[in-house]
Amino acid sequence: MTDHASCSTVLSAPKIAIIGGGLTGLLTATLLERASNQTGSSSNNPQITIFEKSRSVGRLATRYRSDSKTDKNWQWSFGAQFFTAKTADFQQFIAPWLDTRLLQPWCAEVVELTAADENGQSPNIQSKEQWDAVHARYISTPKMTSWGRELAAALKHTTIVFKTRVAPLAQYLQYQNQQQSQNQIQHQTHNQTFNQNSKQTELFDETGASLGWFDWVICTAPNGQAVELMADSGFAQQDKITKPQMQACYTLMLGWNDVQKLPETLNGQLTPQWDVAYLNSAILDRIFIEHQKPAHGELLPSVTIHARNDWSEAHVDEDIELVEEQLLQAAKRALNWNEASAPSQTDCHRWRYAATIVNKDAEELGILIDATKQWIVSGDWCAKGNIESCYRMAQQTVKVIMQTQ
Ligand SMILES: Cc1cc2nc3c(=O)[nH]c(=O)nc-3n(C[C@H](O)[C@H](O)[C@H](O)COP(=O)(O)OP(=O)(O)OC[C@H]3O[C@@H](n4cnc5c(N)ncnc54)[C@H](O)[C@@H]3O)c2cc1C
């Protein structure tokens, strides 16, 4: 099915497809809507569609379980734990959500933790720093997903289509060729002409069903997925997509029934007291105490542990149950639990594309643009691989589109 009506409205209301409903996609839609509002003409409001293959918003992720006895939850932010806002623009952008306290600074006490050795010596915990207003780290409350949901709910000219995987764009050419003869018959019937020179792109889902025609296509998938989406499509900057390297991350989630059951390393009786631990470990990277975060006090004791990216990448194709077992052993040495203080809840998640390796000396890639086709490839990995990068890449995208309209 093709939407030929869009051809006639292209000048007044550009149709924009965003592949990926993570923060880059949501922020791009938000900034696009705001930029077109500033032009003052409602006929210029872009019609934006975000296609997201999963049922939620990207690598901002929250998992929870309920305890049937207490009706309380364990909760783990198993993707991003917090974010920074170093630029004035981004600080200004997040200010309204800081006012409503949906976003809150997390003034965590941070320690360095060296796990117990094989001789049974206790873990060594040394104070490192406290995150403060100067080096603020922000969290979204009550869940890390809450901000993404708010961003999505505030969009006025954007439709979000979940559980829809966009097919590689090369198929656009294939299907376009296949359909051309059918379309020509259809056009003759409706006395219309097919615009060969149109810059519009028809997207398809995995089953070959049309998702519509768009003036702009913005891909925000992680680069491992972007490379497949754009392969053989003639995208002018294809060779650059593979440049940034992304690594995996395993996340271990632990829960206890009661603070009384926590091991000494977590029950606040040891000094220094802490919220976040950086680990000196070949396997684990950081431990985050969820129930000590602002506005998280109602939770049952919940701890999230990120494995090191290099270790995760080296084990990315292993059986997840075997990986979980190794992570649990390492966590046990770090947190020093015994049978009585062992967690009652455990879970493990594999992020195949978690973190961009940042080469501080290399020039930042920035968004990749094919001006002829009006395709843009964007995402956190085009910059520093964090949430602030999503915002900056959204800004770059909006600038390009607004300059072209
Ligand atoms: C374990 C972990 C810890 C992190 N910690 C931090 C941190 O402390 N601070 C920080 O700032 N950042 C952190 N990050 C990074 C942060 O989560 C990312 O920078 C940010 O979420 C990236 O958003 P994005 O929209 O660019 O990508 P994503 O969130 O990956 O969104 C891309 C979306 O595209 C969708 N998609 C892909 N292919 C298709 C297709 N064919 N059709 C439709 N949809 C598709 C995917 O499902 C996905 O939802 C962490 C990430 C991980 C995984």
pLDDT at 193: 24
Which is it for strands 73-77 and 62-66: parallel, antiparallel or unpaired?
A: antiparallel
Please tell me the predicted confidence (pLDDT) of residue 176.
Answer: 58
Distance (Å) from CA 60 to ligand 1 centroid: 7
**Do the bridges between strand 375-377 and strand 216-219 make them parallel or antiparallel, or are there none, so unpaired?**
parallel
Using a 6 Å cutoff on CB, does residue 401 contact ligand 1?
Answer: no
> 265 CB less than 6 Å from ligand 1?
no
Place 173 in a pLDDT band, splitting at 50, 70 and 90.
low
Helix (H, G, I), strand (E, B) or coil at 114: strand
Counting the structural domains of the chain, the total is 2
Return the minimum-mean-pLDDT range out of 63-67, 179-183, 389-393: 179-183
Q: How far is the CA of 222 from the centre of ligand 1 (A)?
A: 7
Q: Given 340, 356, 372, which residue is the final one in a domain? A: 356
Ligand 1 atom nearest 57 alpha carbon: 49
Residues 237 and 251 in one domain: no
pLDDT score of 190: 29
What is the pLDDT, as a whole number, of residue 180?
56
Range scoring the smallest mean pLDDT among 31-35, 36-40, 152-156, 184-188: 184-188
Q: Within this chain, do residues 228 and 324 fall inside the same structural domain, yes or no?
A: no
Give the per-residue pLDDT at 171.
67
Nearest CA to ligand 1 atom 38: 221
Task: Pick the closest to residue 245 from 112, 353, 391 (CA basis).
Answer: 353
Mean pLDDT for 271-282 is 94
Any atom of ligand 1 within 6 Å of the Cβ of 147: no
Residue identifier of the C-alpha nearest atom 33 of ligand 1: 20
222 Cβ below 6 A of ligand 1: yes
Do 113 and 22 belong to one domain? Answer: no
Q: Does residue 300 line the site of ligand 1, with CB under 6 A?
A: no
What atom in ligand 1 is closest to the CA of residue 56?
A: 49
Give the mean pLDDT of 260-280: 92
The CA 16 to ligand 1 mean position distance, Å, reads 20
Average pLDDT over residues 16-24: 96
Q: Which pLDDT band, with edges at 50, 70 and 90, does 178 fall under?
A: low
Domain harbouring 129, CATH code: 3.90.660.10
Cβ–Cβ < 8 Å for 279, 334: yes
368-388 confidence digits (pLDDT tens) = 999 999 999 999 999 999 999
Helix, strand, coil % over all residues of the chain, rounded to 5:
30, 25, 45
Average pLDDT over residues 18-37: 96
What separation in Å is there between the alpha carbon of 33 and the centre of ligand 1?
Answer: 22
Measure 23 CA to ligand 1 centroid, in angstroms. 7
Instruction: State pTM to two decimals.
Output: 0.90
Domain that holds residue 374: 1-57+145-243+364-405
Q: Which has more confidence, 391 or 357?
A: 391
Residue 289 and residue 318 in one domain: yes
Span 161-165, average pLDDT: 96
Same domain, 215 and 102: no
Give yes or no: residues 261 and 303 share one domain: yes
Q: What is the mean pLDDT of residues 81-90?
A: 96
Q: What percent of the chain has pLDDT over 90?
A: 75
Instruction: Select the highest-mean-pLDDT range: 7-21, 107-121, 275-289.
Output: 275-289
Residue 186 pLDDT greater than 50, yes or no: no
> Do 237 and 135 lie in a common domain?
no
Mutating to test ligand 1, I would choose from 59, 82, 388 the residue with most ligand atoms within 8 A of its C-beta, which is 59
Q: Which atom of ligand 1 is nearest to the CA of 380?
A: 26
256 and 351 share a domain? yes
Q: Which of 3-7, 241-245, 246-250, 266-270 has the highest mean pLDDT?
A: 246-250
> Among 116-120, 137-141, 351-355, where is mean pLDDT lowest?
116-120
Confidence of residue 404 (pLDDT cuts 50, 70, 90): confident
Residues 402 and 271 in one domain: no
- List pLDDT tens digits, range 187-213: 332 222 223 356 799 999 999 999 999
**151 and 222, same domain (yes or no):** yes
For residue 405, the domain's CATH number is: 3.50.50.60
Give the 3-state DSSP-derived string for 43-70, with helices as H, strands as E and coil as C: HHCCEEEEECCCCCCCCCCEEEEECCCC
281 and 270 together in one domain? yes
Give me the sign of the Cα torsion angle 342, 344, 349, 355.
Answer: negative
Burial of 226 per CB tally in 10 Å (0-12, 13-18, 19+)? buried
Please report which confidence band the pLDDT of residue 61 belongs to, taking 50, 70 and 90 as the band edges.
Answer: confident
Mean pLDDT taken over the chain: 88
